[in-house]
A and B are shown apart, each in its own frame.
Chain A
Amino acid sequence: MSQRINEKLSILADAAKYDVSCASSGSYRKNTKDGLGNSQGMGICHTYTQDGRCVSLLKILLTNYCIFDCAYCVSRQSNDVKRAAFTVQEVVDLTINFYKRNYIEGLFLSSGIFKNADYTMERLVRIAKKLRTEHKFNGYIHLKAIPGADDELIHQAGLYADRLSVNLEIPSEKSLKKVAPEKDYPSAYRPMNFLAKSITGYREEKKTLRSTPTFAPGGQSTQLVVGATPEKDYHILHLANSLYQQQQLRRVYYSGYVPISDDQRLPVLHSPPLIRENRLYQADWLLRSYGFSVDELVDTQHPDLDQEVDPKLGYALRNPEQFPVDVNTAPYELILRIPGIGVKSAQKIVQARQFGKLRSEHLQKIGIVWKRARYFLTTVDPDFRWLGFHPEHLRQRILSEQTRPKYSPQLSLFG
């Protein structure tokens, strides 16, 4: 039996790997005394792929048979690939046994559309239900909400899963229509809006009635493919921002298009646009945790993020009048905007300055990226900035100082 499962696993994990979401964070589910597993909010990466991506969940397709023919997708109907399908029990066994060995935080289950949306969604739900009820599994479950599936099925999915996601994939409806003739935006937004409403509804109810069941406590996420269609970063970030605001998504993932397809409808790329993908993640981070607005990061004059410098540095260089910031007096929000200072360092600075004035030596020991930050801040030390603050000079200087190759394929997100 093992060999057959082995083959299925290699096909169906391979087919699921272009979905970049892997988070097991943001949900809190306690274990029961006789149960298996829990999820604790922060998430754990149990290993990392050869390309440095986090492996947290068993991420597989239930099947890669699909009635759709989306140009960007390996599992599209017209593509000549090996097909396979797991049974419900096989997915359950794999999840439980991997989890018991501490390989994974839980299951990420997606699927090609076989027969129709309801039929597919019903099976995804059945697996989650079996894990939760028969196996008392309290680890993390991420399910795809299949566009076009009945509201009641999506609702049930929310009762068993920690997180649900509907992938928009292509960042504009016009482009989507070109590459995925069977898809459109309204059918993707419909389950998203339904979920947004249910999540808020259940959360409100839980405040007054504690026995209210949890409903997708990890919220919902989506994925946008970058570089397969002509949208600018301006467009992508505005779309992401509206998804955060309107649908209250927890995360938007950006997937640099990996040229897997020789489909005529898509551009020919030599390698995935990894730097652009990384800049988008950095910008996304600034939106969610650093109090930046989209308009501060991209505008019609600069519709794409600067590939050479990260978006926070880019913002500082475009807005020289806002700097330098005095770390001894400025509010936290402004300190957070200094390139080279992250959330943790900013908090430390605000705490430490209550004990006395900060000098540059203190800042260096606190762990800020001094090489970067020094141009944008002042301390009680005399200021020897002989260069003055001319953005173009500064830009050249910082770029020439970067010791590491600027274009290492995948940069750290939090650097």
Chain B
Amino acid sequence: MVYTYDGSFDGLLSVIFESYRLKTSAEEIVEESCFQPGLFGKPTFVSTNQVHSKRVKQGVRKRCGEQTTETLYHVFLSEQPQIEMLIYRFVRLAVASTENVMSNFREPIVLKIHRIQKQIHREVHRMHAFVRFQQTKDNLYAALVNPDFNVLPLLPPHFTQRYPMFRWLIYDTKRNYGLYYEPASDSKESQSPSIRFVTLDSSSPQHLSPQLLTDAEQDYQSLWQTYFHSVNIPERRNDKLHIQHVPRRYWKYLVEKQDNH
């Protein structure tokens, strides 16, 4: 059976639920907007059903613990080709087993889940490290990013705990949407901080125009570049190691990599 769904994680879990209900195994699960007719037989569209999705989560949780449903969500955000089928196969494996299959490191499906989860975590960690906020004239701290995986949904806990007192925006220029945070304010009706996804009307920005930024911003960027330059020890130079830790594809938005020292 070929299934299509709306592209959401709950949508995928609804498909998995449906395959159990119909007692038919899935051969292909594709996001509806990506489905190419003729490639496979006529697909069955399954609409997202929160109750069904929850049932699948419960099933996984019962066998493999609370963390595993979260792991599956993270793996889903990798956007890897055929990720739906991997998650589908994992759920079938988990539910069929009486033990927690997550620690079965002999099983290729489990190993693959662990491997992708590790990649996602590394990317989240890199975002924690490589986000560079720039202060705009209207006092927004804005950062542009370009992550390999769709990790923006995993960033709020870290950044809201760390920066609760000012407005900030982390914008994914590849996927053209951002994460916008606003602290609680007395003047407005919102008494609690808010965080939401936003999409800018114009086409995705690739750079923040210098006119938007405060004068102090330019100063601090130049101070940071000075610092980066000064802590280098030329006698120990090791470009290979440097690039291994800071891959070139992240340089575009790293302040310390823009200078002309």
- Taking Cβ atoms with an 8 Å cutoff, the residues of A that contact B are 2, 5-6, 9-11, 13-14, 16-18, 30-31, 33-38, 44-55, 58-59, 94, 97-98, 100-103, 258-259, 271-272, 274, 348-349, 351-352, 354-356, 358, 362, 365-366, 408-410, 412
Query: Are A271 and B106 in contact, with the CB atoms below 8 A?
Result: no
| CB <8 Å contact, A98 and B220 | yes
Contact pick for B161, options A38, A51, A274, CB 8 Å: A38
Q: Which of A9, A52, A271 contacts B227 (CB 8 A)?
A: A9
- Beta-carbon contact of A46 and B232 below 8 Å: no
Considering the complex, give the chain A residue whose CB is closest to the CB of B108.
A365
Closest chain-A Cβ to B203's Cβ sits at a distance in Å of 26
Pair A35/B164 contact, Cβ less than 8 Å: yes
- Among A35, A101, A274, A348, the residue within 8 A (CB) of B224 is A101
Instruction: Tell me which of B219, B224, B232, B233 contacts A103 (CB under 8 A).
Output: B224
Residue pair B233, A352 in contact (C-beta under 8 Å): no
Prevailing SS type, chain B contact patch: helix
The residue among A11, A30, A49, A271 with the most chain B CB atoms within 10 A of its own CB is A49
Contact assessment for A408 and B231 in the assembled complex, using a CB-CB cutoff below 8 Å? no
**Of B17-25, B36-44, B133-141, B173-181, the one with at least 4 CB within 8 A of chain A:** B133-141
Which single member of A14, A31, A259, A271 contacts B164 (CB below 8 Å)?
A31
**Stretch from B4-12, B53-61, B78-86, B239-247 at the A interface:** B239-247
Pick from B97-105, B146-154, B204-212 the stretch touching chain A.
B97-105
- Docked Cα-Cα span, A9 to B227, in Å, equals 7
Residue B197 interfacial (CB < 8 Å): no
Contacts of A259 in B (CB 8 A): 235
Cα distance A348–B224 in the bound complex, in angstroms: 41
B162 contacts A by Cβ under 8 Å = yes
B252 within 8 A of A: no
Question: 20 A–B contact pairs at CB < 8 A?
Answer: A6-B226, A31-B162, A44-B128, A45-B129, A45-B245, A47-B130, A49-B232, A49-B242, A50-B234, A51-B233, A51-B238, A51-B242, A54-B245, A98-B224, A102-B131, A352-B104, A352-B105, A355-B99, A355-B104, A365-B108
The answer to whether A10 touches B230, judged by C-beta atoms less than 8 angstroms apart, is yes
The smallest C-beta distance from A200 to any residue of chain B, in angstroms, reads 29
State whether A50 touches B232 (Cβ < 8 A).
yes
* B229 interfacial by beta-carbon distance below 8 Å: yes
For A101, the chain B residues whose CB sits under 8 A away are: 132-135, 141, 220, 224, 255
